[in-house]
Amino acid sequence: MLASAASRYEQVRVTTSSPGEILLALYDGLFRFLRGARACLEKGMRPRAAEQLSKAHAIISELYIALDHKVAPELCARLAALYDFSLERISHARATGDIRAIDDVVRILTPLREAWAVAVPQVMREQATLRSGKK
């Protein structure tokens, strides 16, 4: 019962969130899975770590696929390079159990998450101001 309520809440949250809020949620999930994988590797739980790393890999793959190179080619090229590096390090961590590879991904992507955390609310405020000015 509780699981289905949580699932319904999550569906509503995703369908009512802005693209920026979804982006932040993806990054939050990514870091949650990376922390979980790191903790599992520290405890010698490689199969569980591999599951967490697979989920992190899937999130980065989605972020990569969502890049629109037509809109911002230079930015997308830079983000693609960071995502490629991150995907490679996650694959390495999964294959070898190398915690440093996870740390590399966290180190590389944390500044992006922090930048989005500043930019998303700012854009939302600007959009709200524009909408209220048009009314």
Contacts of 57 (CB under 8 A, 6+ apart): 87, 90, 91, 94
Domain assignment of residue 3, yes or no: no
Domain assignment of residue 9, yes or no: no
pLDDT digits (tens, 9 = 90+) for 73-90: 999 999 999 999 999 999
Domain assignment of residue 46, yes or no: yes
Contacts of 1 (CB under 8 A, 6+ apart): none
Range of the domain at 113: 19-134
Would you state the pLDDT for residue 12?
46
Contact in structure between 52 and 33 (CB atoms under 8 Å): yes
- Interatomic CA distance for residues 101 and 86, integer angstroms: 9
- Interatomic CA distance for residues 55 and 49, integer angstroms: 10
Would you state the pLDDT for residue 10?
52
For position 62, which CATH number holds?
A: 1.20.120.340
pTM of the model: 0.82
- Interatomic CA distance for residues 72 and 78, integer angstroms: 10
pLDDT digits (tens, 9 = 90+) for 34-76: 999 999 999 999 999 999 999 999 999 999 999 999 999 999 9
